[in-house]
Amino acid sequence: MKLSCEVDIHHLTRVEGHGNIRISIKNGVVKKAQWEVVETPRFFEAMLVGKHWENAPYICGRICGICSIGHTLASIRAVENAFGITPTPQTANLRLLLKHMETLQSHILHLYFLAAPDFLGAGSVLPLAKSHPEVVQRALRLKLLANEACDIIGGRRLHPTRTVVGGFTMLPEKEQLKEIRRRLLASVPDLLASAELFKTFVIPDFSRETEFVSLKGDTDYPFIGGDLVSSDGVVKKEEQYRAMTNEYCTKCFTSKLSKLSRPSFAVGALARLNNNFALLHPTAREISKSLGLTPVSHNPYMSNVAQLVECVQVVLDSVRLIDTLLGNPWQEPRQPVQAKKGAGVGAVEVPRGILYHYYKFDKDGRVAKADCVIPTSQNHANILHDLEALAGQYAKTGKKDREIELLAEMLVRAYDPCISCSVH
Amino acid sequence: MGGQLTYLGVPLARPRVGFFELTSCEGCQLQLLNNEATLLDFLNLVEIVNFREGMSERGDNYDIAFVEGSVTRQDEIARLTEIRKNAKVLVALGSCACFGGVNQLKNRFRDLDWVKKEVYGDFPIESMEVHPLADFVQVDLEIYGCPIKKEEVERIVTDLVVGNTVRHPEYPVCMECKANENICLFELGELCLGPVTRAGCDAWCTSNRRGCWGCRGPATVANLKQLEEIMHTYGFDRETILDRLECFGGFASFADTLRDKGKKTPTGRKNP
């Protein structure tokens, strides 16, 4: 039996951004299991200094090419909290609907284009277009629906145009919302088929006890604002986010890292679901159970399943939001904004986990200090510790290099890392 | 997919393409995957041999290289030079690659060490002044926008494949905005760079009642003096105009001139 293994992956594929995996096992003993982040930093927090408040959401949305809507909404929330602005119910509902559609788009992208090829034995989605055309068509249908809904509500699927401090520059037509509602209901069979597909996937058998951090839902499964909670029992207010993230720098990472009660913690779909399972829509909860996912799951590969459950959650909740919006006459899209000296935090659950934006403004509404804490940077240390445990679990099993390499790649991909985001 | 591709009955070779990213949000590449309705047709037009974000296989035998992002670290110069060596055609994809994009906002600060300290404290981190690709290699074609407009990319790629000359509109966004019958944003009290920014986006932001921030850089004939007068007429101060003009780097020289004229500049800015 072969008990030594060398894995050296430079710039892991099918993830956003640049990261390396290095594993070295000698005679059944793990010598090294490393996750490295080599992405070039962009310095958004410095860029903003001296800029007028209006710039913050516009520039910070550009931290990410996948969840630009989430960044924009977190940034807007931080500015509004600093200025003491409360969004109108209409704005809050539209923002949540927009957020849901981004979550659907991002999760489908990850599940079908980035994760599924591993389970189906392909290098990318391209050969699947030939071998599993119905699977690819289904993914494209769901993604198209989500993206077109983002266009209609946010003005644009990437780097949204209509989302501003105070509300929206423009509202969708009610007829457009009715059409989205019709398509959302029509997408349910595609979601059920997705669940059936994932039931056929063999989820690697690996668990490591982990602390999970997310927003704490009150009456609804949480996405925008509220208290912060960890599965180890820590509860903090939104504005105390620093006590929850405890960022630090270390070698092999151009991103910052985070810790809380243990050397690392996890954020993302699995953390949200573990911490707020009871608040899921009953249908989403049933699908979760049917896929073998009940809280608390400590298997990071189950993040894929959690994302799928959340797709069901956001689709069903979007129908509810549209019904509320359609049941009321349109109000003014945008409320006036009065800048003032102060600071604000915006915490938003974006597809990869909890995201925080913080700004401090001077009396003219110019940024004096900015801080953004990204989900993937909070996950990096946990990915590292998972990789160590994974290597340890398989060190004595005599698996081939390629098998361990694939398990390691799949582990990192399960976190759906957004590495350039984490090194903003 | 596959099969012989023809145009007007003439067989066409499917070019091998590679996608690469330097310092960026990778959003421009994702815009291509975001084009669900025509994605499979688009994939039929080219053979993708390198697309790290989407596939595991990697090859260096590409004809066209699409490079997203700007250059902000020494090792990126070497990567870019290598890509240039392998590619017959190098395309700068998006505003970061063309002008430095939002990344170049850090160049506003004279002191790069201050920038590093502001974000990383005393932790040593490598970074240099932000550059567009053309500062280091020959760029054959630029695709503007933050983000790029996928319809425009598909048109440009189709032109490349069938051998048509790739042309950018020379006129400003204002023309497209008027053609879309929008209310002028200045009349609604919004600042807008539409009068001077290169068209081709079909007035993407302004049709959503968001003033233009100039992500596509200046139109071929951009009357910036006139813009300054319009802004003055509508009562926008220099700092607000500057925020827009310096955002993506396309108007860098004009922003520099305007900044030099200004008196009110926050600490840390270049040329205070």
- What pLDDT is recorded for position B3? 62
Buried b (16+ CB within 10 A) or exposed e, A71-107: bbbbbbbbbbbbbebebbebbebbbbbbbbbbbbbbb
- Distance CA(B228)–CA(A312), nearest Å, equals 51
Compute the residue count for chain B: 272
Structure tokens at B153: 């990319």
pLDDT digits (tens, 9 = 90+) for B124-136: 999 999 999 999 9
Considering the domain boundaries, does residue A145 fall inside one?
yes
Q: What does the pLDDT average to over B77-81?
A: 97
Considering the domain boundaries, does residue A392 fall inside one?
no
- What pLDDT is recorded for position B31? 85
- Quick check: helix, strand or coil at residue B196? coil
- Distance CA(B48)–CA(A105), nearest Å, equals 23
pLDDT digits (tens, 9 = 90+) for B199-245: 999 999 999 999 999 999 999 988 888 888 998 899 998 889 999 99
pLDDT digits (tens, 9 = 90+) for B15-44: 899 999 999 999 998 887 777 777 777 777
Q: Which residue has the higher pLDDT, B264 or B9?
A: B9
**A14: contact with B, CB 8 A cutoff:** yes
| Count of C-beta atoms within a 10 Å radius of residue A202 | 7
CA B127 vs CA A64, A317, B71, B102, B112: distances in Å:
19, 44, 10, 15, 8
- What pLDDT is recorded for position B267? 43
pLDDT digits (tens, 9 = 90+) for A69-86: 999 999 999 999 999 999
CA A64 vs CA A86, A175, B239: distances in Å:
26, 31, 26
- Under CATH, what is the fold of the domain B5-162? Rossmann fold (3.40.50)
Closest CA to B177 of B151, B204, B150, B216: B204
Across chain A, mean pLDDT equals 96
Residue B113 has pLDDT above 70, yes or no: yes
pLDDT digits (tens, 9 = 90+) for A184-202: 999 999 999 999 999 999 9
In the numeric block, the tokens 């679901």 are attached to: A273
Closest CA to B105 of A70, A66, A254, A60: A60
Q: Where in the sequence is the domain holding A290, given as residue range(s)?
A: 44-377
Measured in angstroms, the CA of B128 and the nearest CA of chain A are apart by 10
Surface of B (24-63) touching A: CB under 8 A: 24-31, 33-34, 36-37, 39-40, 43, 48, 51-58
Domain limits, chain B: 5-162, 173-261
Surface of B (178-207) touching A: CB under 8 A: 204-205
B266: confidence class by pLDDT, cuts 50, 70, 90: very low
Considering the domain boundaries, does residue A163 fall inside one?
yes
Considering the domain boundaries, does residue A92 fall inside one?
yes
- What pLDDT is recorded for position B13? 80
When divided into structural domains, chain A yields a total of 1
Q: Which of A52, A54, A162 sits opposite B208 (nearest CB)?
A: A162
- Residues in chain A with CB shorter than 8 Å from the CB of B116 are 43
- Residues in chain A with CB shorter than 8 Å from the CB of B102 are 42, 44, 47, 59, 62
Half-sphere exposure of A259 (CA within 13 A, CB side): 10
Share above pLDDT 90 across residues of chain A, in percent, rounded to a whole number: 93
Considering the domain boundaries, does residue A5 fall inside one?
no
pLDDT digits (tens, 9 = 90+) for A97-130: 999 999 999 999 999 999 999 999 998 888 898 8
- Distance CA(A90)–CA(A167), nearest Å, equals 9
Instruction: Check A50 against B267: CB less than 8 A apart.
Output: yes
Q: ipTM more than 0.85? A: yes
Query: What is the DSSP code string of B48-64?
Result: EEEETTTBS-B-S--SE
Instruction: Check B118 against A155: CB less than 8 A apart.
Output: no
Report how many Cβ contacts below 8 Å link chain A to chain B.
Answer: 167
Considering the domain boundaries, does residue A414 fall inside one?
no
B272: confidence class by pLDDT, cuts 50, 70, 90: very low
Give yes or no for a cis peptide into A348 (omega within 30° of 0).
no
Considering the domain boundaries, does residue A9 fall inside one?
no
Closest CA to A267 of A326, A347, A328: A347
Residue A418 has pLDDT above 70, yes or no: yes
Query: What is the DSSP code string of A296-336?
Result: SP--GGGHHHHHHHHHHHHHHHHHHHHHHHHTS----SB--
Q: Which of B40, B54, B58 sits opposite A129 (nearest CB)?
A: B40
Closest CA to A229 of A176, A193, A265: A265
Predicted TM-score (pTM) of this structure: 0.95
- What pLDDT is recorded for position B150? 85
Residue A233 has pLDDT above 50, yes or no: yes
- Which amino acid type is present at position A228? L
Instruction: Check B55 against A158: CB less than 8 A apart.
Output: no
Angle formed by the axes of helices A188-199 and A133-154, nearest 10°: 130
- Distance CA(A358)–CA(A239), nearest Å, equals 9
Structure tokens at A240: 């105390």
- What pLDDT is recorded for position B44? 78
